Amino acid sequence: MKVVLKDLVKRFANAERAAVNSINLVIEKGELAVLLGPSGCGKTTTLRMIAGLEQPDSGCISIAERDVTDLAPKDRRLAMVFQNFSMYPTMNVYDNIAFPLHAIKMKRGEIDRTVREVARLVNIDHLLERSVRQVSGGEAQRVALARAMVRRPEVFLMDEPLSNLDAKLRVQLRTEIKRLHQDTGTTFIFVTHDQEEAMTLGDKIIVMNNGDIQQVGSPHEVFFAPRNAFVANFVGTPSMNMLEGAVLADDGGGYRLQLPGFELSLPVRFHDGLANLAGNRVIWGIRPEAIKLASAPAGNGVSGKVELVEALGSRDLIFARAAERLFGLIVDAQESLAVGAPCHLHFPGEQMHLFDAESERSLLNDLPPSDAPLCPPASRGAESPSGWGEALQKG
Amino acid sequence: MRVPASERLLAYVILIAMAALVLAPVLAGSITAFKPQIIWVSSPPTWIFEPTLENFEFVFFTRKGWQYLRNSLIISFGSVAIALLLGVPAAYAFARFRFRGSKALMQWLISLRMIPPIVVGLPFYAMFLYLERGLGIGLRDTFPGLIITYQTFLLPLVIWMMRGYFAELPAAMEESAMVEGYTRMGALLRVVLPVVWPGIVATAILNFIFAWNEFFLALILAGNRTSTLPMTAGTYIVRTRVEWGNLFAVNMIIMAPVIVLTIVLRRQLVKGLTFGILE
């Protein structure tokens, strides 16, 4: 179901700044939305407010056009999987999965059928009689998934459910969650600090920092068109190479960028954004994947020396020192260089990013902010839930 | 870490010496409880004799020991039940919610355990007297009166111990149940209490021992109708003599349940006692 957050604020007692700072967000029906950000960015608090486990200080939450802001968690028709809890320790697997069904006073026969069906779906039907001590961490998290699914919730909430698992299991369960999402068509909201997890899972990624939404977009959008320096830096491993420099005035041959130790010419697509910025400080960035190794000093580039090589499998991560800076670049293993070898780095103009040094906003991708008003200002509870549902559609 | 054999030996010697120091009088007393009256205080002590139960018979029937045993049981069970009923939910609240003054309240609760009983006993006595004369509510020498008074030292213990057990559990356990269709109370009853059940049992037993052994408050507030076993032990020490055999027979009746419970549950008790303190 569609989930809408409007001007949501949460401030914890004794905290300097708000944990969640007036965020607005629409998650469409059937979408798998990922809240991504470093620890303390407000992503988990946001999820817990949707679940009803935290009460917002102001703002409202609607699920399927229904204002749930003041509803108890049990009345919100959603399910949640937690990071540090998966099974009720005094019940076996079967009773764990049946537990939410007892809350709605389902008949015994129907409970049995539902539990077995859901257990089969997440491949734990052979574990039903086991106690919590006899299941592994991955299996326990499957039990949590089954328990979440068993009531056919309108929205699945997942708070870093894979963080406590080992790498292999994490990837395996990640795929299963994705499959589960496709099979059920239910809205999923997934919280993680792992950007790879966010990329592989999400239809929509919401990058958060310091209680604010930094960017909302598809995995490709947040990766290729970060709206600010934070998103550019946070999304992608290894992170984007970033340097601070100054824009030089257009001398007829286009704008140029003065970086510490070298100069670059900026491609035409930046010119609009730079119109009034000559002399200003900017942050320049390029992803490790975008840097090319050239055989000779190239026009838009810098020469240096390989300092460190890390094998990633089919590709190598090279750290090269040039203009007294360390650049990370990813190249095919066949094209890799040895440590100490001289190298020429080429920076393709179409893959460069520029951010205003002060606001850190992108000079290229400064699209209308996604936190623009989604619905007309309304004090909480003043309008009926359907009222602001309509307003949203118009907006 | 491996402890060298010599150090371990030393540790055992010290521990055995300390245990002997504590247990020798108890043992000597327990033997006396089975001695016939003529050799209670024979000098030198008689170690070989035909054991008899006449002391037990005397304190139990002639001196109405069974009534005091019954009173002790009623007061101990009653006060532990009330302490758990009030203390377990309070401990849960302290473990899960931060509210204005919650920390200070916890400190205050533990400070109640440092107050000598007479500081509590006399005001309670005065209060009961006022209630009786002013409002006609008689609490002196009644079971409810003693059970209420005992809460001053039982409740803090229940709250401190149980808070430790609750704090050990992830909050996500109840939160999960709350999202799955239960109220917080429902989650507490169906999910949390079954998990902390062993802790509740350990807490109950430790509190039972404290209530069972209580002497001073009972001495002030109990009367003919509600005298407890420990109180009656004192009646065997009179101005002209000490009825050693009878005294130790009462002592054995008092000690028996405590010793049995401690042996059966020593592991949980150590855990329960160090909980909250080692946080």
Confidence of residue B274 (pLDDT cuts 50, 70, 90): low
Confidence of residue A378 (pLDDT cuts 50, 70, 90): very low
Rounded mean pLDDT of A89-105? Answer: 92
Angstrom distance (rounded) from CA B195 to CA A132: 12
Angstrom distance (rounded) from CA A196 to CA A155: 23
Rounded mean pLDDT of B71-75? Answer: 91
In a domain, B25, yes or no: no
> Are the C-beta atoms of residues B209 and B269 closer than 8 Å to each other?
no
The 3-state DSSP class for residue B113 equals: coil
Per the CB < 8 Å rule, is B181 touching A89? no
Q: Which residues does chain A have within 8 Å of residue B183's beta carbon, measured at their own beta carbons?
A: 72, 74
Query: What is the number of other CB atoms lying within 10 angstroms of the CB of residue A81?
Result: 24
pTM of the prediction? Answer: 0.80
In a domain, B102, yes or no: yes
CATH number, domain with residue B201? 1.10.3720.10
Q: Token pair of B235, please?
A: 């009646």
Count helices and strands (H / E) in chain B.
Answer: 13, 0
Count helices and strands (H / E) in chain A.
Answer: 10, 20
Query: What is the number of other CB atoms lying within 10 angstroms of the CB of residue B65?
Result: 20
What are the structural domain ranges in chain A?
Answer: 3-229+370-394, 240-356
- Residue A146's Cβ-count burial label (10 Å; 0-12, 13-18, 19+) is buried
Per the CB < 8 Å rule, is B178 touching A100? no
* Chain A residue with the nearest C-alpha to that of B186: A103
Q: Token pair of B246, please?
A: 């009878």
B154/chain A closest Cα distance in angstroms:
28
Pairing of strands A155-159, A187-192: parallel
Rounded mean pLDDT of A283-290? Answer: 93
CB contact A73 to B (< 8 Å): yes
Concatenated DSSP letters of B143-174? HHHHHHHHHHHHHHHHHHHHHHHHHHS-THHH
Q: A240-356 sits in which CATH class? A: mainly beta
pLDDT digits (tens, 9 = 90+) for B188-216: 999 999 988 888 988 898 899 899 988 88
- Which is more confidently placed, B54 or A147? A147
The 3-state DSSP class for residue A160 equals: coil
* Chain A residue with the nearest C-alpha to that of B100: A13
The 3-state DSSP class for residue A179 equals: helix
Q: Identify the pLDDT of residue B232.
A: 85
Rounded mean pLDDT of A288-305? Answer: 87
Query: What is the number of other CB atoms lying within 10 angstroms of the CB of residue B26?
Result: 14
Rounded mean pLDDT of A201-225? Answer: 93
Structural domain count, chain B: 1
- Which residues contact residue A79 at a Cβ distance below 8 angstroms, ignoring those fewer than 6 apart? A100, A147, A148, A149, A151, A153, A155, A156, A157, B179, B180
The topology (CATH level 3) of A3-229+370-394 is Rossmann fold (3.40.50)
Per the CB < 8 Å rule, is B195 touching A74? no
From the list B98, B172, B191, the residue facing A82 with the nearest CB is B172
CB contact B100 to A (< 8 Å): no
β-bridge mates for residue A283, sequence order? A244, A355
pLDDT digits (tens, 9 = 90+) for B207-246: 998 999 888 888 888 888 888 888 888 888 888 888 888 8
> Are the C-beta atoms of residues A293 and A341 closer than 8 Å to each other?
no
Whether the pLDDT of residue B74 is over 90: the answer is: yes
In a domain, B8, yes or no: no
Whether the pLDDT of residue B39 is over 90: the answer is: no
Q: Which domain holds residue B238?
A: 54-274
| Closest to A208 (Cα-Cα) out of A79, A357, A61, A41 | A41
Whether the pLDDT of residue A320 is over 70: the answer is: yes
Query: What is the number of other CB atoms lying within 10 angstroms of the CB of residue A390?
Result: 13
Q: Give buried/exposed letters for A179-195 (b at 16+ CB in 10 A, else e).
A: ebbeeeebbbbbbbbbb
Q: What is the mean pLDDT of chain A?
A: 86
Q: Give buried/exposed letters for A247-284 (b at 16+ CB in 10 A, else e).
A: bbeeeeeebbbebeebebebbeebeebbeebeeeebbb
Q: How far apart are the first and last CA of chain B?
A: 24
Q: Give Cα separations from A16 to A12, A59, B97, B99, B100 (angstroms).
A: 9, 20, 20, 19, 19
From the list A76, A84, A104, the residue facing B172 with the nearest CB is A84
Confidence of residue B272 (pLDDT cuts 50, 70, 90): low
